Chain A
Amino acid sequence: MIQHLTSLPVLLPMLAGVFLLMPPCGKNKNIRRFASVALSAITFLISLALLLKVQTDGTQVYAIGDWSAPFGIVLVADPLSTLLVCLSGLLGFVCVLYASAGEDEKGSFFHPLVHFLILGVNGAFLTGDAFNLFVFFEVLLIASYALLMHGGDKKNTRAALQYVIMNLVGSAVFLIALGVLYGVLGTLNMADMAQKVAMLQGDDVYLAKIGGLLLLVVFALKGALLPLHLWLPNTYATAMPIIAALFAIMTKVGVYSMMRVYTLIFGEEAGELAHMAQNWLWWLALATIVMGAVGVLASQDLRKLVANLVIVSVGTLVALVTVQTVEASSAAIYYLIHSTLVTAALFILADLIGRQRGKVADRITVGTPVSQPILLGTCFVIAAVAVIGMPPLSGFIGKVWLLQATVNTEYSFVFWPLYLLASLAVLFAVAKAGSTVFWHHQAKISEQRAAERALHERVHPVEIAALLILVACAPLMSIFAGPLSEYAIGAATQLHDFDNNINIILSGGQ
């Protein structure tokens, strides 16, 4: 059992998804909810167990069907991928928990689909094979298509149609890129590819470059990098907020793939192709930050605002990925976790606020006050302070770290002012949104009606629990910043240790 631990974060959600479709769970919604929450908690615990194992025994390589790399497909659980698997496990658990209060009944098959999505995300994080990465991308995408339509209306259908078409074109480009790379390198195992890229000569170099840059297009589409980010605000703002919260991990899959491919395969050691994507990524990332900040300022409702915050975080992460130093990557890892959790918390808050404000919903205008201002207000303040990056919460640590990581790079004179201005814009927009929503309201509603409403629309305790777990992560991440940042530095060191990576993966983790 213990030697198969690496494969469990992929297998378990799949089995959970299938199990939840079967009779006792398919028929009775209470059993289904309970089973789903329990199974997602188990997935999370298994991921934590894997994290402990990786901590003590080093990187785990699991050869599926015992076909060793580079002939078979391997799952690679190194510190970085395991950490992200834990993150997706936690997010999945929180989303299932939150939805169990009633959101899951607005459409069919919510619980199985969430588990299938987690399966795809975990697989994409763990896999060491580029074609397998494509397969897991498709798994998570088809689950996301269906989830996007969950409990949807007309606006939702339009956004979903565009999202699906965009991603299908993206998949086609992904396959073309893989075909080109396979044709040139003769392998799709990432470690093996990294070895062979350095040995290319003549025209093959340019073919590999084409393949690599086509991959960049795909990852930029998944990660919502500038020219390909237009699908994101609409999709995230029209999906049900809890699903948007879950989707917060999906852009990170794109960023993670960029990290892998452009650090391992086309990184330091790639001969003529070393750092080939850096120039593209750097300027696109900066432009993404600017566009995200402009979007944040222009947002008319909370959900759109949070969706634009996702874009800002993607831009920041990609900028860090391009710097290609251990310090920048460790800052990126910390920031990635922080931003995923905080945006998820904000999506959930937007949902609760929207529900309690009646007709105005989550639009940032004067309207009826929320019925539980203290609970929601406090959570909003914590999440907002974290997302803006003010002390003392996790956002501040992430921000200081990433500014420090970029201070010695040649581009810091562009990045610093741009990033700080964007943060200022975010600060302004979030503060304005918060004060409008919580403080400016139409004064007159009769007390009796107010009491009635308060009773009626009270947040379900399960939802509060889910929200608190996410919101608590921000202070926890700054209290435990020491161990977390040590772990992130360790993970980044491993990510950049080219020879070690290749040896471990190709020798089967000995």
Chain B
Amino acid sequence: MELLYAGSVGLIVACGVFLILRSRTFPVVLGLTMLSYAVNLFLFASGRLSLNSAVVLGHSNDYADPLPQAFVLTAIVIGFAMTAFVVILAIRGRADLGNDHVNGQVPENHSTSNKKGRV
């Protein structure tokens, strides 16, 4: 279970990082969302993965750690607000700058060469 879990978190982080490094705002926003999902999963796992362990005292010998769940909840709320903000900001950037590049300008040889075109 640990291996599968760690592998999936790693995969989502890799996707997120790849998307964040793109030059247009939409993939970047998607990447940030992916990254925050991965972070939430990771935080959740920091209380150790366990099956069938109780959350309420006095029901079992084996307890799940409640604190990481509180962390995840906080992180989800904050991540949600931040994503909403960055989406609005990206739309405003599209309107103000006339394009959706993170740098605010379309690279000159964007269509011909993809080596320099990607920022």
Chain A residues with CB under 8 Å of chain B are 131, 135, 138, 142, 145, 149, 153-154, 157-158, 160-162, 164-165, 168-169, 171-172, 175-176, 178-180, 182-183
Contacts and interface: CB of A to CB of B under 8 A. Distances in A.
Given A135-B78, A165-B28, A157 B97 contact: yes
A158 B93 contact: yes
Contacts of A179: 39, 42-43, 45-46, 68, 71
A210 to B, nearest CB: 13
Contacts of B28: 165
Contact of B43 (A157, A161, A178): A178
10 contacts: A135-B78, A153-B96, A169-B20, A172-B32, A172-B36, A178-B43, A179-B45, A179-B46, A182-B67, A183-B47
Interface string B29-52: 000100110110011011110000
Contacts of A164: 82, 85-86, 89
Given A142-B81, A175-B75, A179-B42, A154 B86 contact: no
Nearest to A141: B82
B86 A131 contact: no
Contacts of A165: 20, 28, 32, 86, 102
Contacts of B20: 165, 169
Given A158-B104, A161-B25, A175-B43, A168 B86 contact: yes
B53 interface: no
Contacts of B104: 154, 157-158, 161
Contacts of A142: 81-82, 85
B39 A172 contact: yes
> Which of A135, A164, A165 neighbours the largest number of chain B CB atoms within 10 Å of its CB?
A165
Contacts of B90: 161
A172 B35 contact: yes
A135 B45 CA distance: 20
Contact of A178 (B71, B79, B82, B89): B71
A180 B46 contact: yes
Contacts of A176: 39, 42
A471 B108 CA distance: 46
A145 B87 CA distance: 13
A404 to B, nearest CB: 43
A182 B25 contact: no
Nearest to A162: B102
For the complex of A and B, the 3 pairs showing the least CB-CB separation, nearest first, are: A158-B104, A183-B46, A179-B46
A138 B48 CA distance: 26
B92 interface: yes
Contacts of B82: 138, 142, 164, 168, 171
A178 B40 CA distance: 11
Contacts of B93: 157-158, 161
Contacts of B8: none
> Which of B25, B71, B75, B86 neighbours the largest number of chain A CB atoms within 10 Å of its CB?
B75
B42 A157 contact: no
A67 B28 CA distance: 40
B103 interface: yes
Nearest to B68: A182
A160 B92 CA distance: 11
A199 to B, nearest CB: 19
A212 to B, nearest CB: 15
A145 B89 contact: yes
Contacts of A145: 85, 89
B96 A154 contact: yes
Interface in B66-119: 67-68, 71, 74-75, 78-79, 81-82, 85-86, 89-90, 92-93, 96-97, 102-104
A168 B25 contact: no
Contacts of A162: 102
A161 B39 contact: no
Nearest to B17: A169
